[in-house]
Structure 1
Amino acid sequence: MHVDAYDDRYGNAFLLRAAPDDRLPQVGMPADDAMRLIGEELVLDGIPMRNLATFVTTWMEPQAQRVIAENLHRNYIDHAEYPQTAVIEQRCIRMLARLFHAPGETTGTRTQGSSEAIMLGALSLKWKWRQRREAAGTSTERPNLVFGGDVHVVWEKFCRYFDVEPRIIPLRPDRYTIGPEDVEPHVDENTIGVAAVLGTTFTGHADDVSGINDLLVRLREERGIDVPLHVDGASGGFVWPFLYPHTEWDFRLEQVRSINVSGHKYGLVYPGIGWLIFRTRDDLAEELVFYENYLGKRDATFTLNFSTNASMVLAQYYNFVRYGFDGYRFIMQTMQANARALAERVMAAGDFELVGDKDAEQLPLVAFRLAGDHDYDEFDVAGQLAAERGWMLPAYTLPPNAEHLTIMRALVKQTLGRSLAETLADDLAEACATLDAKGGLHERDRSRVKTGTGY
């Protein structure tokens, strides 16, 4: 009897057919088969807990997972039908505003991630700049935005999508962040704002936010140019308040008008959840706010997205009430301790050297490169590490003018405890020993990519 004849008796018919690809299948399949089909396809993906490239959270407590699962059907934007969800969102915004030292009543919003938050924050910068120019009776043509080459690609996307000139400050061969001396030559009366990064995706260090703020204050007093500062805290916004509480980078600095942060990074929530917080209500351009009567309630929104489930907002609130300030601080300190232990063990093997100032404030990560001459490069090490042990450890070149430097970067999150960190360091040494014996793996495209940022 042909094997197809047993389909109804034993199931698993999907094993004999290619996965539906270019068209909707004419008939469906049993629920168990559909579940197994997808599960077996995803076996080809990497294991998220071994993904050291991504900043995005890959583990949450079972109780948080239950909160998420039980609220996937709840529409975040439907405030009329789910008013308590809207209340909880506002609680999170107020908590973040207080964490970032907002001076008084403020506003903000939940976003799908930091990409949406940056788009909205930069749009507000443009609208507020246009208001100032119109009030002064001056031209509103040719707006520009100043930022460093260490930013996420979404800043360039904003400039292209919304017709703003990007003034991108190249990095230096020996410095991978920007400061006031880099910013000053690019600022003029058409500058809608300056963006500074708190925790770059490349080396985990921060731009000199305080120094840039002081520069902008001086330009305002000496030249009458009021240029606001937006802090891209996608990664660092949930790190600096707990590891470096005395460092001023947030609303304690008078020119900082808005901050974005990713809840799904060091906010410890699954993707996707981001937040945009304004210094005061006046820093949000009123033209961006839409008032509408939706399902019987007049509501105000200023998001780019509309319908999405409320589960990640509730998961963020779960973390806030579950951990509190002390809990977040303990988690960040644990990650930092494990990152330092990983760095020490990797350096002790002698194959690598750290990239950037090891004594500077930094995200819990380790950025490093091969030391000395080898018949292989960092891309080969990453490939060998993946082939031998399944680690997803990225290798990539830095932006101009530091693109000559190829580095590797290991994110240290809750899923990389001390034992696994030590195992990773040993696996790196073993990968180098293997490559020393056999040489590089093969030629590959060395072109610049931004990987694993998770905005």
Structure 2
Amino acid sequence: MTTSHEAEALFGNRFLTERAPSTTFPENGMRPTDAMRLLAEDLNLEGDPQRNLATFVTTWMEPEAQRIIAENLHRNFIDHAEYPISAEIEQRCVRMLADLFHAPGETTGCRTQGSSEAIMLGALSLKWKWKERREAENRSTDRPNLVFGGDVHVVWEKFCRYFDVEPRIVPLEKDKYTIGPADVEPHLDENTIGVAAVLGTTFTGHMDDIPGINQLLLDIKSRRGLDIPLHVDGASGAFVWPFLHPDSQWDFALEQVRSINVSGHKYGLVYPGIGWLVFREKSDLAEDLVFYENYLGKTDATFTLNFSTGAAMVLAQYYNFVRLGRDGYTYVMKQMQQNANTLATNLRESGRFEVIGDDLEQLPLVAFRLAGDHASYDESDIAWQLSAERGWMVPAYTLPPNAQEVKIMRALVKETMSREQVERLTQDIADACTTLDEKGGTTQTERQQVKRGTGY
């Protein structure tokens, strides 16, 4: 007769019948196989990344890239004395991005943990450069403001709150989900540290009128003597527009664009987390943000918010650059765009949905909403039904002020999404709507209960 311990060793994992440690630090450890199984059982309840059409983040890389990542997880990127090749590869990536974004000459930049860190750094440099200009003119520096639209990521508002800058947010409007020069101009003054424009919004995948805003800033510099820089938030779009819309103007080819951020872990096709910040010229990086330290063995200059971080994703980004090149990235982006166009056509032809702005330059995604009167359910009900029935994660959300009455859905079409999966998703959306036609929507039922006084 085997003992309980022997049985565990022979047949399985005791956490199949016992609670997993969750509230107190474990007194004793366990075998590596048991620890692996414990985690695996929890992770089995996660969503399937291949059906997660909500996230912009990369969910698949080639086996060779995965091997590079696995073999370099132990490298601390910031330790340039011990890992100088990793540092050199970072700068290769920065130079390649500067070339891709039409930087006019020698530039500078860095890898970041993602676009949130890159935006914080870029906006800090805007503030410090504005402060330098004001101090040189013996003017006050106590009322900085930053102008951006309601279509930005929340990190822009975080920056303003964390670093004491007044946010001047241009509201959206129904059927107007990006901003242009006429929206920006009333908010500009001598205390404006910069304007942030989005290339590929989270909400609908479109771009602000970056050329128009650039021209406005040039006119203001000429007429009023105010040199207001433009930062392009290309978290998603700066790895898409150069390949899908190569003739579109948005980058350093425009004079007032002084810095650009982009997420390598989005359409850069790298696992999280990796982002990039690139300046037009070295002088666009405020020197006061650069720190010099030598306690890792050599004197290094650093201006990132984070310090220790892994080198693996920097190396994975370089792998993609040399593996794909312009031709490869163009092929991948066009493949995703083609499948997004097919999905948009399918949804439109179903008669149930209105597709938003697919005739404009856009990320490879489909933004859509119910057409006509569907009193018994809404987009949130469809999102829930898709998840419950088929495991698809397709978000439904309201747009920012003053378009908050508009609710839409958004499907990201990823590199791994095949034409067959597009057709399956189309059918699953139709089936979800058929089910909701028969039973009504949960969210609508809750609204009716609230009106009758029987809800929470």
| Shorter-chain TM band | over 0.9
Partner SS for 1:300:
strand
Q: Answer whether contact 2:352 2:370 (CA < 8 A) is retained.
A: yes
In 2, Cα distance between equivalents of 1:242 and 1:109:
22
- CA shift, 1:298, in A, is 0.7
Structure 1 2/399 Cα, relative in aligned 2: closer, same or farther at 3 Å?
farther
Q: Which residue number corresponds to residue 86 of structure 2?
A: 85
Q: 1:372 is aligned with what amino acid? A: G
Q: Does residue 306 of the first structure (1) align with residue 283 of the second (2)? A: no
In 2, Cα distance between equivalents of 1:418 and 1:445:
37
TM-score where L is the length of structure 1: 0.96
Q: Which residue number corresponds to residue 365 of structure 2?
A: 365
In 2, Cα distance between equivalents of 1:105 and 1:313:
21
- CA shift, 1:413, in A, is 1.0
Q: Answer whether contact 1:384 1:441 (CA < 8 A) is retained.
A: no
Q: 1:364 is aligned with what amino acid? A: P
Q: Deviations over 1:267-300 (max 9, x none)?
A: 0000000000000000000000011113221110
- CA shift, 1:416, in A, is 1.2
Q: Which residue number corresponds to residue 43 of structure 1?
A: 44
In 2, Cα distance between equivalents of 1:72 and 1:320:
20
Q: Which residue number corresponds to residue 290 of structure 1?
A: 291
Partner SS for 1:119:
helix
Q: Deviations over 1:108-149 (max 9, x none)?
A: 000000000000000000000000000011100110000000
Q: Which residue number corresponds to residue 205 of structure 1?
A: 206
Q: Answer whether contact 1:50 1:390 (CA < 8 A) is retained.
A: yes
Q: Deviations over 1:238-284 (max 9, x none)?
A: 00000111111000000000000000000000000000000000000
Q: Which residue number corresponds to residue 450 of structure 1?
A: none
Q: Which residue number corresponds to residue 449 of structure 1?
A: none
- CA shift, 1:193, in A, is 0.3
TM-score where L is the length of structure 2: 0.96
Partner SS for 2:168:
strand
Q: Which residue number corresponds to residue 26 of structure 1?
A: 27
Q: Does residue 148 of the first structure (1) align with residue 149 of the second (2)? A: yes
Unaligned runs of 5+ in 1: 447-455
Q: 1:346 is aligned with what amino acid? A: L
Q: Answer whether contact 2:378 2:444 (CA < 8 A) is retained.
A: no
Partner SS for 1:336:
helix
Q: Which residue number corresponds to residue 113 of structure 2?
A: 112
In 1, Cα distance between equivalents of 2:2 and 2:387:
41
Structure 1 444/140 Cα, relative in aligned 2: closer, same or farther at 3 Å?
farther
In 1, Cα distance between equivalents of 2:76 and 2:120:
22
Q: Answer whether contact 2:207 2:361 (CA < 8 A) is retained.
A: yes
Q: Deviations over 1:314-370 (max 9, x none)?
A: 000000000001000010011111100010011111111112x32110000000001
Q: Does residue 69 of the first structure (1) align with residue 70 of the second (2)? A: yes
Q: Which residue number corresponds to residue 337 of structure 1?
A: 338
Q: Answer whether contact 2:347 2:355 (CA < 8 A) is retained.
A: no
Q: Which residue number corresponds to residue 408 of structure 1?
A: 409
Partner SS for 1:294:
coil
In 1, Cα distance between equivalents of 2:92 and 2:295:
22
Q: Does residue 162 of the first structure (1) align with residue 137 of the second (2)? A: no
Percent identity of equivalent pairs: 72
Q: Does residue 384 of the first structure (1) align with residue 400 of the second (2)? A: no
- CA shift, 1:443, in A, is 5.7
Partner SS for 2:135:
helix
- CA shift, 1:444, in A, is 9.0
- CA shift, 1:9, in A, is 4.3
- CA shift, 1:44, in A, is 1.4
Q: Which residue number corresponds to residue 451 of structure 2?
A: none
Q: Answer whether contact 1:80 1:294 (CA < 8 A) is retained.
A: no
Unaligned runs of 5+ in 2: 448-456
Q: Does residue 399 of the first structure (1) align with residue 400 of the second (2)? A: yes
Q: Which residue number corresponds to residue 185 of structure 1?
A: 186
Q: How many residues were matched structurally?
A: 445
In 2, Cα distance between equivalents of 1:216 and 1:398:
27
Partner SS for 2:197:
strand
Q: Does residue 435 of the first structure (1) align with residue 426 of the second (2)? A: no
- CA shift, 1:3, in A, is 8.2
Q: Which residue number corresponds to residue 269 of structure 1?
A: 270
In 1, Cα distance between equivalents of 2:253 and 2:95:
16
In 2, Cα distance between equivalents of 1:379 and 1:238:
30
User: Moved runs in structure 1, 4+ residues, more than 2 A?
Assistant: 1-11, 441-446
In 1, Cα distance between equivalents of 2:43 and 2:393:
16
Q: Answer whether contact 1:4 1:13 (CA < 8 A) is retained.
A: no
- CA shift, 1:74, in A, is 0.6
Map residues 209-220 of structure 1 onto 2, 5 A cutoff: 209-220=210-221
Structure 1 215/333 Cα, relative in aligned 2: closer, same or farther at 3 Å?
same
C-alpha root-mean-square deviation of aligned residues, in Å?
1.4
